[in-house]
Chain A
Amino acid sequence: MQVRKAVITAAAPDQSRLPLQQLIDAQGRERTALALIIDEATSAGIEEIAVIIRPEDASAYESAAESTSVDLHFIKQAKPTGYAAALTLASDFIGSENFLHLVGDHLYVESTNQTCAKQLINVAAEFGCSVSAVQATRETNLPYFGIVSGPRVPQLDRVFEIETVLEKPTPTKAEQHLITPGLRSGQYLGFFGMHVLTPEVMSLLKDLSNAPESKPASLSDALAQLPGRQRYLAYQLRGSRYNLGVDYGLLRAQLAIGLSGRDRDLILTELVDLLAGRLEGTHQS
């Protein structure tokens, strides 16, 4: 299975500015979040990338993308009609190929020598089917993620056969339908914001976004229909994702990237200094 193309979504009204934020990467260079996401994709051998954006953000994204070796397309979503609808805009771009999907408001830090996207594409290549990256997620974070469950693939530690997908379930539902054997109690497999998907998913998405539902469809709604139709796996990859959209999300992502790179000691020293100063301040008051 070959994966050449990637789709990044960044058109949600409340998230559209996040990929434009400036960070310092592991090598100490000033980069935008978007550039880091594009790097993640290219590291896995992606050749063409489509970014779904709001029309008014076009110029900002073009400059934020920085110079890159891949073929970059910007697709504009005129109205915020939902996640599924945004993805379907890339269907012409995808054609009949498998594709990598990343969300624009997440950054990834690997904990091995392979980037997260690379790890995921390797698994997809090995099994030849759709694979979603997942990580063990505490139940308190359920309101933020799509959750999957299913048995482990025999002999493999980190690969799961997905049977159920629910978007932002309540802990009550999660406990009834989404328990994955082997995880600690109160932990579930939550989406990582990174998927390798087959073109069939695109047609499911189209069906969903054309359906007259009161609520806009999400990617999870489409993925929930996948297990009955074709093999669909989850891979608990070695790395972490950082959601820029939550409180202090950018700060946490920056710290994680910083601590994984060249300036680790410097950052730690600064942190200690900050803490010591604060303690002193507390003491004086």
Chain B
Amino acid sequence: MNAFIETIRSDDQATRDRSFELLCNGLDLRSTLEVTGELDDYRRTEQNLYRRVRSLFFLSAIHRYHLPTLFSDQASNLIPHDGFEHLLSRRFLEAIDCFLAHQERHGASDGLSSALAEAYHKLGFQTLADQVRSSVRGVRGNQWMFRLGHPAEHPLRVRKELLPPDTSSEGTSLAPIVRETTAVRMDLSHSAWSDIFFLGMDFPEGARVINVSVDLGVKGRDNHTRPPIEAYFRVIDEPVVRLTSVDLGVTTDVETVAEMFDFGRDYLGLLKAALIAAGVVPPGLEGCGHSIERVLLPLVGPKRGIELVSMINDIPKGSRLAVSTNLLGSLISVLMRATSQVKSLTGPLEEDERRLVAARAILGEWIGGSGGGWQDSGGVWPGIKLICGTTADENDPEHGISRGRLMPVHTVLERDSVSQETRQALQDSLVLVHGGMAQNVGPILEMVTERYLLRSETEWSARRDAMRIYDEVVEALKAGDIRRVGRLTTENFEGPLRKIIPWSTNRFTDRLIESCRDRYGNDFWGFWMLGGMAGGGMGFIFEATIKAEASRWLAKKMVQVKREMETSLPFAMDPVVYDFAINDNGTFAELLIDDRATMPDRYHGLHMPSLLRTSPRDLSAGRRREMERVSAMCNEPSGSSLASRLITTLLPTPTTQSDSAESLQAILERSGFDTVAHESIRADLISGRIGLSQNRLPTNTLIQDVKEDDIIDLRERVDSKNTNLGEQAIREGRVAVVTLAAGVGSRWTEGAGVCKALHPFYRFGKRHRSFLEVHLAKNRKTSRKFDQAIPHVFTTSYLTESPIRDSLARHDGFGMADQVHISSGRSIGLRMVPTVRDLKFLWEETAQQVLDEQQQKLRQSVRGALLQWAKQTGEASDYTDNVPSQCIHPVGHWSEIPGMLRNGLLQQLLIERPQLDYLLLHNIDTLGANVDAGLLGTHIAGGQTLSFEVITRRLEDRGGGLARVGGRPRLVEGLAMPNEQIEFDLTFYNSMTTWISIDGLLRSFGLTREDLVNASRVDSAIRELASRMPTYITLKDVKRRWGHAQEDVFPVSQFERLWGDMSTLPEVSTSYFAVPMQRGQQLKAQAQLDGWNRDGSAAWVENLCDFS
């Protein structure tokens, strides 16, 4: 029997836990293909969900990690476009069939395997997500909400005691308010992310979490700790659902059911999800087309509505304390109290009610398109609790489908097991912080799931370690040994967590831990990672007597380290330290009546200005009564802060020219921003002469794959004559390296605007290294080997120059200061608001990955809002509503070599070393590129001006390639492809790595080495060539940060000229080298890192480096 299938089906634990590597061991190409065929047949017929999912992950891993090592480089490598389209449209089954049929006809290949790996991977996750979704729907108490189809049939009623006083009477009493306060949770151990639904449902024995409900205060801002989450509910005398988020400062009146299901249109999606998940507007009503008034009628009676207000006391995003899940829980709880779905209107909840609220919160997260683990609603429970997975019995909807249940079991540890002294000791030793980073944990959770299903040896044993550590943490808590707790959480973080997911930590966190150890030695008891990853919410445990001092020091240290690293890692805010206290209530409600029935002060600050602008006659009786009450409160002794808040919001604040606007202008002036060119681009954009669709070559352009003679295949063998030639050139100092580092890697950090070159993305040796360090380490190795210091140029832009200079200065040039040169960029552009035409082209005309159902809905709604934004702000107007560095952009990598001519760096290099003849130019993210003697020799022997390195294509390698256009080989940018299908017929992808002959290059500019002293001659030569280069319009995502670590992403227009277009110039002689995949592979997105690490590429790169 097929060993993979045997592993999946076995009842014997040891067999079932066999690792993927063990199963692959010794399989050659033919037998691997046989195995995948059998596995694919098996997954088609297997009824059991988890077996099916595991076979899908095995298939994906075989195609991603095992098969690529077996292919020869010569195999045909094309990926059928039909399959790709299926994949984008989430038709995974069809995509797999299409790829397999292609494999049958043309044989297996690396490219095809990359496509199959992706399709199996996505199908696996889709199957799991579908199962979680159906389990969430199937939880008893949730099902009815999906059956309700008409508002008139609404079976819920708001409690009578919450209905407002009769509006017809001249009463002065206010509508009662229910206020729910809820804690957040911090997890002492999640047994290596074992709270992921999939894990809990497949491996309930291993799914165990210990978490603590806490109240918070920000040190230096709040006088005391309190439950950070508050939710308010009341009935109002207007037939709308009024939603207000006090922290985000937004409010809206929802008037239709359609608006309620539109999550992306404002920042109130979480409140909407709560109303839906609480059954007030049940999910079954989506698309019914009715007004909210119709829905409210049975609930609260005619001409009445409800109001929901949320407040999280300005806890920043990314706190890893599950603020949003617990806020959702709090909102759901208050709504369920108001509609009698839980018994008590006030006080704490009972156990089965908490479980129901947690189940609804899971439903709400799914509806809102997000999702965490099942421990996240821990703040609904009181104190310290163990949350454990449990097997599904025959009364559970999961029975017969998965081994475990969706919903875990909570056991609250009372004071007889964890004493009051221990609780106090924990509070006395732990410093809770937010490091300032707000990253998306989603990809990590996917990796954990994949790892779990593959049972790779190191990671599976790490999981067992994590389970042991969990037991020991519980023991240590019961024994009251906080020092041991600290040791264990550190062991957990540095051991199993890092082994399973290397990306759970980062250089920032590691530096903080090192600093704590250096300063406090044995008095630093340990580090505690909260939630899914480090960098945001974290805990540092100290000896109690030094905690106060340590927490002050840590607050300063974090800011200092952040300052040093903020250009290389994406921070969303400055770090803060929290005060905290264990919360023994969980979620708790009180009823505010009569004069106490008022909303929080900040609510009034938000609403009062617009109320005052409205004529009293147009205000409802309830609103008028509330205004009267606010007025009375301002006159009470305790009302001074409310009064001053109101004054501040009502009166205009003196406007000062904002610093950022000023400095943007200054930067533009200083950097020689070309206003005339900018205005002409704007005019062209508005008139439609340029734009995304105009980037494309005419549709009648004949684009074909290259012929065998068009490339020089250096994948398996390089002529030794050429290698010798190359080695000699290196020894003679005739080559230099140019690394393109002007960009901010929009895709890498999703628009966070940090310097990609400095991002410490991977641990080589003992610590994280940045792209810049890796490139220098490769250079060091070659330089040492040939005993010749190879000059290394980093080209920069305004955005990256000073961070790179600072970093080099701080690290003493990483030991290569005399070889490193910085080329200052001389061109920047100002980003513009995109045109509606380009936005629509991007979203409708180009191939886009369709997302999972709910996320796709959310995306559509966000896109609607972005179109509105573009129209309202003004299409093609300057994008200035952000920090300056996010408003300007480098103008594409074509300008970087001309930049070296302009700023005199090339001239300086040639003066220093007149023998310099060749440059190796490469992207910052092409980690495999180094000064390879064989390739250099081949370039020298060929005598061409430019030799471009190309690689065979994998699924993710999109964005152009090597093609014959009109019979002549050249590089075609993805932006320029007349249609997207053509790219799939091109075997080779452009790695952008280029060998340049300096004299030939200068000739193409019409220059000689001697001309470089003549700045005006250089300038006009560059301008002339630039005018022959195509200008592409692109849309890039930029993040705009606001509030407390909130981030919005906007697509903005910018223009670029690209280096690959040099190959279109007939007078420039070019050749194309096919090189091994690992040499040309680029890391464009952080999501690639994991595969890159696992498939051996990381080790391959490390082998090229010398970090000593």
Which residues of A approach B to under 8 Å, CB–CB?
Answer: 138-143, 170-176, 179, 185-186
Contacts and interface: CB of A to CB of B under 8 A. Distances in A.
B141 to A, nearest CB: 5
Contact of A175 (B143, B298, B352): B143
Interface string B285-329: 000000000000010000000000000000000000000000000
Contacts of B298: 143
Contacts of B148: 140
B156 interface: yes
Contacts of A172: 141, 144, 279, 336, 341, 356
Contact of A139 (B155, B339, B352, B356): B155
Given A140-B153, A140-B154, A143-B157, A171 B279 contact: yes
Contact of B356 (A142, A143, A176): A176
B140 A140 contact: no
Contacts of A186: 143-144, 147
Nearest to A170: B341
A174 B141 CA distance: 8
Nearest to A169: B340
A175 B155 contact: no
Given A176-B140, A185-B147, A171 B356 contact: no
Given A139-B144, A185-B147, A173 B155 contact: no
Contacts of A142: 155
State which size class the interface on B falls in.
20 to 34
Given A170-B155, A170-B341, A171-B155, 8 more contacts: A140-B155, A142-B155, A143-B155, A172-B356, A175-B140, A176-B352, A185-B147, A186-B144
A178 B960 CA distance: 62
Contacts of B341: 170, 172-173
Contact of A170 (B140, B153, B156): B156
B488 to A, nearest CB: 38
A13 to B, nearest CB: 15
23 contacts: A139-B155, A140-B148, A140-B153, A140-B154, A140-B155, A141-B155, A142-B155, A143-B155, A143-B157, A143-B298, A170-B155, A171-B144, A171-B145, A172-B141, A172-B279, A172-B336, A172-B341, A175-B143, A176-B352, A176-B356, A179-B140, A185-B143, A186-B147
B209 to A, nearest CB: 25
Given A143-B157, A175-B141, A170 B339 contact: yes
A176 B143 contact: no
Contacts of B154: 140
B399 to A, nearest CB: 15
Contacts of B156: 143, 170-171
Nearest to A174: B144
Contacts of B141: 172-173, 175-176
Interface of B: 140-145, 147-148, 153-157, 279, 298, 336, 339-341, 352, 356
B356 A170 contact: no
A170 B352 CA distance: 15
A150 to B, nearest CB: 16
A186 B155 CA distance: 11
Contacts of B142: 175
Interface of A is mostly: helix
Most-contacted residue by chain B among A139, A172, A175, A179 (CB, 10 A): A172
Contacts of A140: 148, 153-155
A138 B144 CA distance: 11
B393 to A, nearest CB: 16
A173 B339 CA distance: 11
Nearest to A138: B153
A185 to B, nearest CB: 7
A188 B1099 CA distance: 64
Contacts of A138: 153
Nearest to B145: A171
A79 B702 CA distance: 94
A142 B148 CA distance: 13
Nearest to A143: B157
Most-contacted residue by chain A among B143, B155, B336 (CB, 10 A): B155
Nearest to A179: B140
A141 B144 CA distance: 13
A139 B154 CA distance: 9
Q: Which 10 A-B pairs have the closest CB atoms?
A: A140-B153, A171-B144, A172-B341, A172-B141, A170-B341, A171-B155, A176-B141, A176-B140, A142-B155, A175-B140
A176 B142 CA distance: 9
Nearest to A173: B341
A5 to B, nearest CB: 35
Contacts of B336: 172
A173 B141 CA distance: 6
A140 B140 CA distance: 17
Nearest to B154: A140
A172 B277 CA distance: 12
A185 B352 CA distance: 22
B172 to A, nearest CB: 25
B788 to A, nearest CB: 76
A124 B903 CA distance: 103
Most-contacted residue by chain B among A139, A141, A143, A170 (CB, 10 A): A170
Nearest to B352: A176
A141 B336 CA distance: 19
Nearest to A144: B155
B647 to A, nearest CB: 43
Contacts of A185: 143, 147
A243 to B, nearest CB: 16
A174 B352 CA distance: 14
B363 to A, nearest CB: 12
A163 to B, nearest CB: 15
A27 to B, nearest CB: 35
Nearest to B150: A140
A141 to B, nearest CB: 8
A171 B156 CA distance: 8
A113 B868 CA distance: 68
A95 B155 CA distance: 39
Contacts of A176: 140-141, 352, 356
A172 B148 CA distance: 13
A234 B155 CA distance: 23
A252 B142 CA distance: 32
A170 B142 CA distance: 12
Contacts of A170: 155-156, 339-341
A180 to B, nearest CB: 13
A66 B341 CA distance: 45
Contacts of A173: 141, 341
A171 B143 CA distance: 9
B407 to A, nearest CB: 12
A142 B140 CA distance: 16
A142 to B, nearest CB: 5
B487 to A, nearest CB: 43
B990 to A, nearest CB: 58
Nearest to A171: B144
Nearest to B343: A173
Contacts of A174: 144
A141 B298 CA distance: 11
Nearest to A140: B153
B147 A139 contact: yes
Nearest to A177: B140
Nearest to B282: A171
Contacts of B279: 171-172
A138 B153 CA distance: 10
A171 B154 CA distance: 10
A249 to B, nearest CB: 16
Contacts of A175: 140-144
A140 B298 CA distance: 11
A143 B157 CA distance: 7
B571 to A, nearest CB: 43
A170 B155 CA distance: 7
A138 B145 CA distance: 13
Contacts of A179: 140
B358 to A, nearest CB: 14
A186 B140 CA distance: 11
